[in-house]
């Protein structure tokens, strides 16, 4: 995807603060952190979201790497939240599959609709 910002990050065409990288995924810091630890993990290959027929092995790898990233970021003991937004109602703004690792603060309990 030529004009996908996360594809460009995956190809190192635009800068990011990389936390972890291997052949198939890259994790980098969110530029607009919502909590003290806010890191994103993406597959290097473009998929719009988890609803885009992503191979299960790749999904599993992303989740496994999220645990590794949580260790690197020092939130593995205190806890964290994984979130992946899908589509309009999910408030997805970047249409390249990404998992948010959110930590360093207590997450809100409430998970209902926005006011
Ligand atoms: P979404 O709402 O799609 O689940 O989350 C997209 C996330 O990507 C947002 O938290 C936003 O701050 C982050 N983001 C958007 N553009 C960039 C960028 O160019 N670089 C980085 N590192 N994060 C970005
Ligand atoms: Zn992309």
36-53 pLDDT tens trace:
999 999 999 999 999 999
Cα of 35 from ligand 1 centre, angstroms: 13
Using only C-alpha atoms, the chain has a radius of gyration, in whole angstroms, of 14
Q: Which two tokens stand for residue 6?
A: 């996360």
Q: List, edge to edge, every strand of the sheet that includes 18-21.
A: 18-21, 25-29, 37-43, 99-103, 80-83
- Ligand 1 pocket: which residues have CB below 6 Å? 5, 16, 28-32, 85, 91-94
Q: Are 86 and 92 in contact (CB under 8 A)?
A: yes
Residue 28 CA: nearest ligand 1 atom is 22
Rounded to whole angstroms, the Cα distance separating 17 from 72 reads: 13
The DSSP code for 11 is T
User: Which of 40, 50, 69 is the best mutation target for the ligand 1 pocket, counting ligand atoms within 8 Å of the beta carbon and taking the most?
Assistant: 40
What are 84-106's pLDDT values in tens digits?
Answer: 999 999 999 999 999 999 999 99
pLDDT confidence of residue 21: 98
What are 11-70's pLDDT values in tens digits?
Answer: 999 999 999 999 999 999 999 999 999 999 999 999 999 999 999 999 999 999 999 999
Model confidence, pTM:
0.97
Q: Are 95 and 7 in contact (CB under 8 A)?
A: no
Cα of 11 from ligand 2 centre, angstroms: 10
């Amino acid at each position: 995807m030529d004009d996908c910002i996360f594809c460009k990050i995956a190809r190192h065409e635009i800068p990011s603060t990389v936390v972890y990288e291997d052949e198939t995924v890259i994790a980098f810091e969110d530029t607009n952190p919502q909590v003290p630890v806010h890191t994103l993990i993406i597959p290097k290959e473009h998929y719009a979201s988890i609803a885009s027929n992503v191979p299960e092995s790749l999904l599993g790898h992303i989740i496994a790497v999220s645990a590794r990233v949580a260790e690197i970021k020092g939130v593995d003991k205190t806890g964290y939240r994984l979130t992946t937004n899908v589509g309009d109602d999910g408030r997805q703004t970047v249409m390249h599959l990404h998992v948010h690792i959110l930590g360093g603060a207590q997450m809100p309990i409430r998970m209902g609709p926005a006011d």
